[in-house]
Structure 1
Amino acid sequence: MTSVRTDAELADRVLGGWLGRIAGNMLGKPVEQGEVWTRDRIDRYLRRTAALPLTDYLPEPPADDDGPALRPEWRDCVRGRVHGSCRDDDIDYTILGLHLLETHGFAFSTEQVGDLWLLRLPYLQTFTAERAAYRNLANGLKPPLTATYDNPYQEWIGALIRADIHGWTSPGAPRRAAGLARRDAVLSHTGNGVYGAQWAAALIAAAFTAPTVRAAVDTALAVIPPGSRLARTVRRVVSLHEAHMSWEDALATLTDETAGLHWIHVVPNAAVLTAGLLYGDGDFTRTLALTVRGGLDTDSNGATAGSVAGVLTGADALPAQWKDPLEDTVRSAVFGFDGVRISELADRTLRLVTLPG
Structure 2
Amino acid sequence: MSTKPKLIVLFILILASISPAFAISDTAYYDKVRGAWLGKCIGGALGMPLESWRYTDIDKAYPNIDNYVGYFTSEWKGWSGMLRAEQVPTDGEWHRMLVRVDVPQFDSVRCIALPIVGMSFEFDKTPGIWEIRDLKIIRPKNNLGPDLSAWQADQKCVWTEWSVWQFDYQGERSWLKAKEETARLLNLKPADVLLFSFEARSIKGAPKIGFAFDFMTRDYRKGFGPDDDTSYQIVGLHVLETHGPDISCKDIGRDWCDLLPNISPELAEGLALQRMRQGIAPPESGVHPIGEAIGGQMKGEIWGLMCPGRPDLAAEYARRDGVVAHCKNGVYGEQFIAAMISEAFVETGVNKLIAAGLSVVPADSQYAQVVRWVIDMHSKYPDYRDTRRELIAKYPNPCNPVYADAGVVTLALLYGNGDFDKTIRIAASCGSDTDCDTASVGALMGCVHGANAIPAKWSDPIGDQFRCFVKGFENWKISDLSKRICAMGRKVQAYHGSAKKFSTDL
> Normalising by the residue count of structure 1, what TM-score does the alignment of the two structures yield?
0.89
Whether the 8 Å CA contact 2:333–2:402 is kept in 1: the answer is yes
Answer yes or no: is 1:199 the counterpart of 2:339.
no
Answer yes or no: is 1:246 the counterpart of 2:383.
yes
1:16 partner letter: G
State how 1:260-339 maps to structure 2 within 5 Å. Answer: 261-339=397-475
Whether the 8 Å CA contact 1:87–1:332 is kept in 2: the answer is yes
Whether the 8 Å CA contact 1:89–1:125 is kept in 2: the answer is no
Q: Aligned residue for 2:254?
A: 115
Q: Which of the pair is proportionally richer in strand? A: 2
Question: What's the CA shift for 1:262?
Answer: 4.3
State how 1:1-357 maps to structure 2 within 5 Å. Answer: 5-33=24-52, 37-47=53-63, 52=64, 54-59=65-70, 63-67=144-148, 69-70=152-153, 81-124=220-263, 128-148=267-287, 151-259=288-396, 261-353=397-489, 354-355=492-493, 357=498
- Counterpart-to-counterpart distance in 2, 1:328 and 1:126: 32
Larger mean CA deviation between 95-104 and 121-130 belongs to 121-130
Question: What's the CA shift for 1:144?
Answer: 2.3
Larger mean CA deviation between 238-247 and 170-179 belongs to 238-247
Whether the 8 Å CA contact 2:237–2:302 is kept in 1: the answer is yes
- Counterpart-to-counterpart distance in 1, 2:474 and 2:462: 14
Higher relative contact order (CA 8 A, sep 6+): 1
Instruction: Provide the secondary structure at the position in 2 that maps to 1:337.
Output: coil
- Counterpart-to-counterpart distance in 2, 1:207 and 1:110: 25
Whether the 8 Å CA contact 1:31–1:71 is kept in 2: the answer is no
Instruction: Provide the secondary structure at the position in 1 that maps to 2:467.
Output: coil
Question: What's the CA shift for 1:352?
Answer: 1.6
- Counterpart-to-counterpart distance in 2, 1:235 and 1:134: 33
Structure 1 residues 343 and 254, CA, compared in 2 at 3 Å: closer, same or farther?
A: same
2:56 partner letter: D
Instruction: Provide the secondary structure at the position in 2 that maps to 1:143.
Output: coil
Gaps of 5+ in 2: 1-19, 72-113, 115-142, 156-176, 185-218, 499-506
**1:160-211 Cα deviation digits (max 9, x unpaired):** 2221100111111001000000001111111110111111111111111124
Whether the 8 Å CA contact 2:348–2:418 is kept in 1: the answer is no
- Counterpart-to-counterpart distance in 1, 2:56 and 2:430: 9
Question: What's the CA shift for 1:66?
Answer: 4.5
- Counterpart-to-counterpart distance in 2, 1:90 and 1:280: 22
- Counterpart-to-counterpart distance in 2, 1:181 and 1:174: 10
- Counterpart-to-counterpart distance in 1, 2:279 and 2:48: 34
Question: What's the CA shift for 1:13?
Answer: 0.5
- Counterpart-to-counterpart distance in 2, 1:181 and 1:97: 10
Whether the 8 Å CA contact 2:35–2:451 is kept in 1: the answer is yes
Percentage of identical aligned residues: 35
1:19 partner letter: L
Whether the 8 Å CA contact 1:89–1:126 is kept in 2: the answer is no
- Counterpart-to-counterpart distance in 1, 2:221 and 2:62: 18
Structure 1 residues 285 and 82, CA, compared in 2 at 3 Å: closer, same or farther?
A: farther
**1:258-278 Cα deviation digits (max 9, x unpaired):** 24x444421110100111111
Instruction: Provide the secondary structure at the position in 2 that maps to 1:326.
Output: coil
Whether the 8 Å CA contact 1:30–1:71 is kept in 2: the answer is no
Instruction: Provide the secondary structure at the position in 1 that maps to 2:245.
Output: helix
Kindly tell me the number of residue pairs found equivalent between the two proteins.
Answer: 343
Question: What's the CA shift for 1:81?
Answer: 3.6
Question: What's the CA shift for 1:327?
Answer: 2.3
Question: What's the CA shift for 1:245?
Answer: 3.3
Instruction: Provide the secondary structure at the position in 1 that maps to 2:256.
Output: helix
Instruction: Provide the secondary structure at the position in 2 that maps to 1:107.
Output: coil
Instruction: Provide the secondary structure at the position in 2 that maps to 1:299.
Output: helix
**1:280-316 Cα deviation digits (max 9, x unpaired):** 1111111111011111111111111111000011000
Instruction: Provide the secondary structure at the position in 1 that maps to 2:461.
Output: helix
1:181 partner letter: A
2:41 partner letter: I
Mark the structure with the bigger radius of gyration.
Answer: 2
Q: Which of the pair is proportionally richer in helix? A: 1
> Normalising by the residue count of structure 2, what TM-score does the alignment of the two structures yield?
0.64
Question: What's the CA shift for 1:26?
Answer: 0.7
Question: What's the CA shift for 1:244?
Answer: 4.1
1:46 partner letter: Y
Whether the 8 Å CA contact 2:348–2:448 is kept in 1: the answer is no
Question: What's the CA shift for 1:19?
Answer: 0.2
Structure 1 residues 333 and 102, CA, compared in 2 at 3 Å: closer, same or farther?
A: same
2:440 partner letter: T
Q: Aligned residue for 2:108?
A: none
